[in-house]
Every structure is written in C-alpha cells, then in structure tokens.
Amino acid sequence: MPSTRTSAETAARQAAAPILSARELCVDFKLEQGWVRAVDGVSFDVRRGEVLGIVGESGSGKSQILMAAMGLTAANGRCSGSVTFEGEEVLNATPDRLDRIRGSSMSMIFQDPMTSLNPYMRVVDQLTEVLVAHQGKSRAEAVNIAVEMLERVRIPDARRRISLYPHEFSGGMRQRVMIAMALLCRPALLFADEPTTALDVTVQAQILDLLNGLVHELNAAVVIVTHDLGVIARLCDRVIVLYGGRIMEEAAIGDLFTTPHHPYTQGLLAATPRLDDDTAHDLRTIPGTPRALAGQISGCPFAPRCERRMERCTVETPTLRRTTNGKRAAACHLVTA
C-alpha cells in the first residue's frame, strides 16, 4: 500500500532544491505526414530521497519523458522546454557531457533487460565497465563491487554467476542484474521504465521492495514509469497522471488514491477494483480508446472519453492548476481550487 514517510522527512525533502526539473517539456516526432507531439508541456520537480511515479496508458508519453531527460530521444525527435539536472540544462548538453552524467550520476532501468545488457558480453564485463571507465577503479576492485551489488539484489552464488552471459540468467534474475547495473555507480537520479512489468507478481514485489530499500539507502531520486497502479502504490511518494502527453493530475500518493480530483484519475481508480489485489490493477482496463498521437488540439485531451464533459471542454484546453496550498494540481475545468 502507499509508502509512508514521516511528515518531518517530507518537509525536509520539500525544502531541498530539486535534483531534476522539467519545465514545459515537449517532445515532437517527425513522421511522413509532419510533426506530431508525444509530450506536451510537462513540468515537474524531483528531489533526493523522493520517488515520483508517472502513470498513464500506452502511448501517453511516459517513456519519452524519461528518454528526453536522459538525452536519448530518437533521431526523428526534437525536444523543447527545459530539463535541468542539478541546475544544468540537459536538453542541449553535449554528447560528452551527457555520457559523463549518465555514467556517474544518472542511470536508467529499461523495461526490457536486453535493452541495456549486451548478449555477447559476460555480465562481469558489463558490470565492471562503468566502474573502470567512469570511476577509475581497478579491475579487481570493480569485480568485488559488482559481486557485492549482485548479492544485494539477491542473486545467489553471485561470485560464480557474475561470469555468466545474460542468457544464462532467468528473466527475473536478468532484471536484477540490470537493476544492479543501474545502481552500481550509486546514481543520484534513477529512471525506471516499467522495471517489473515482465515479471511474475511475487518476483515483482521482491524487486520493488529491493529497489525501495536501495534507493533510500543511497538517498537517490527516482522517477518510475508504469501503467500499474499497484507499483505506484508500493513505491511512490508522488504521482503524475499523464494522458495524451499532458499532465492531468499531480498529487501525493495518499491524496491521489483517496481523493482523485481529475475525472481521468477517477476513471483509472474505478477501473482498479482493489489496489491491494495484485491481480487487478492494470490501467489498460479503463473503457474507451486512448487519444491518438496528435499535435496541439484545442480542448481537453480527455474530452472524447470523459463522462463529465461540458460544452467548453471541447474548445477550451484546461490548464494545470495548483490547489491553494500548492500540494496538488489538476487540469480540468471542474477542478477549481
């Protein structure tokens, strides 16, 4: 269930400067018929020790937000707005600078372990590469650190298994190897894109708990992308609900689950019979069809599926408005304070 932190911890975190800030981030892709917008004016902050969830249906732009922040947008894409990491702009950073940030301070867990694991290289070589290249460790030191990290992600017999190739690990174990790899450089900021989707429920829970523990130990900031509200409930402090590339709602985890303000969030939660039921929390069960990728359209992107749609909703785009205490925000004409 929703992770709990003391109010003192939360207050201290809110006072700290964000490690990552996105402002009016847009990601566009060039297709044969012209440019289309996948991420549309997204702004958020993340601080050390905080786990931010980004939730939304397939195609809502979740991965592209992470890719933009990592400087990994595809060649046919372009980003605008701003993403700063420790105050430094990432969107126009040189490839060298990005490489250094990615090797030492920022890392990513991809949905498919084979995206970041090379099938032709032994795990030991892949894990030690970053430590030798970016941190100047000797090979022997790097192997010891890598074995220790594999043990921490609970890979049994890690000293022997580190010499295996990725295909010699089971799916769950490969995922753990990738998590170990992402945490090896002790990143200040970790992006996780559907890190457990491919795993069965028990392994998923174990890995999320593991991630949670390691992240708090490192006092890292985490942005985790998922379509799974169960994952959000287990891990996150704060959540952004994305629809059609735009933020529909942002709230602390407890507020989102107890009093969702936006009709889309309400729909998601209604489509999720019980959050503690590990078999029934897939957002893809919400009725209707997700919005097609489109350029800037007028009106609320959720209007075609919204049961509470009013006349103005199809002509006037609702802005993301903060509540008076600044703690949450929603983009809906019905939400006024």
Ligand X SMILES: Nc1ncnc2c1ncn2[C@@H]1O[C@H](COP(=O)(O)OP(=O)(O)OP(=O)(O)O)[C@@H](O)[C@H]1O
- Pick one of ligand X, Mg ion, ligand SF4, none as the site partner of residue 139 (Cβ within 5 to 8 A by kind): none
Q: Quick one: 71 or 77, whose CB is closer to ligand X?
A: 77
Q: Considering the complex, what minimum distance in angstroms separates the CB of residue 61 from Mg ion?
A: 9
Q: What are residue 131's phi and psi, to 5 degrees?
A: -70, -40
DSSP bridge pairs for 222:
51, 190
Task: Give 77's contacts (C-beta < 8 A, 6+ positions apart).
Answer: 27, 28, 29, 30, 38, 64
List the helix and strand counts (H, then E) for the chain: 12, 12
Residue nearest to Mg ion (CB): 63
- Pick one of Mg ion, ligand X, ligand SF4, none as the site partner of residue 328 (Cβ within 5 to 8 A by kind): none
Whether 193 and 66 have beta carbons less than 8 Å apart is answered as yes
- Pick one of ligand X, Mg ion, ligand SF4, none as the site partner of residue 134 (Cβ within 5 to 8 A by kind): none
Q: Considering the complex, what minimum distance in angstroms separates the CB of residue 111 from Mg ion?
A: 7
> Hey, is 127 helix, strand or coil?
helix
- Pick one of ligand SF4, Mg ion, ligand X, none as the site partner of residue 64 (Cβ within 5 to 8 A by kind): ligand X
Q: Which of 300, 320, 328, 329 binds ligand SF4 (CB under 6 A)?
A: 300
- In this structure, the strands spanning 238-243 and 246-252 are antiparallel
> Hey, is 25 helix, strand or coil?
strand
Q: Quick one: 60 or 126, whose CB is closer to ligand X?
A: 60
Binding site for ligand X (CB under 6 A): 29, 31, 38, 56, 58-64, 74, 76-77, 227, 293
Q: Quick one: 218 or 271, whose CB is closer to ligand SF4?
A: 271
**Burial bucket for residue 234 (CB in 10 Å: 0-12, 13-18, 19+):** buried
Between residue 239 and residue 268, which ones bind ligand SF4 under the rule CB under 6 A?
A: 263
Whether 58 and 227 have beta carbons less than 8 Å apart is answered as yes
Does residue 63 interact with Mg ion by CB under 5 A? Answer: yes
Q: Considering the complex, what minimum distance in angstroms separates the CB of residue 138 from ligand X?
A: 39
d(CA 271, CA 266): 9
- Pick one of ligand X, Mg ion, ligand SF4, none as the site partner of residue 274 (Cβ within 5 to 8 A by kind): none
d(CA 18, CA 20): 5
* Residue range at the interface with ligand SF4 (CB under 6 A); choices 138-146, 219-227, 274-282, 327-335: 327-335
Task: Give 3's contacts (C-beta < 8 A, 6+ positions apart).
Answer: 51, 212, 234, 235, 236, 237, 253
Between residue 253 and residue 312, which ones bind Mg ion under the rule CB under 5 A?
A: none
- Pick one of ligand X, ligand SF4, Mg ion, none as the site partner of residue 260 (Cβ within 5 to 8 A by kind): none
The residues that touch Mg ion, with contacts defined as CB under 5 A, are 63
Residues at the contact surface with ligand SF4, assessed by CB under 6 A: 263, 300, 302-303, 306, 308-310, 313, 318, 332-334
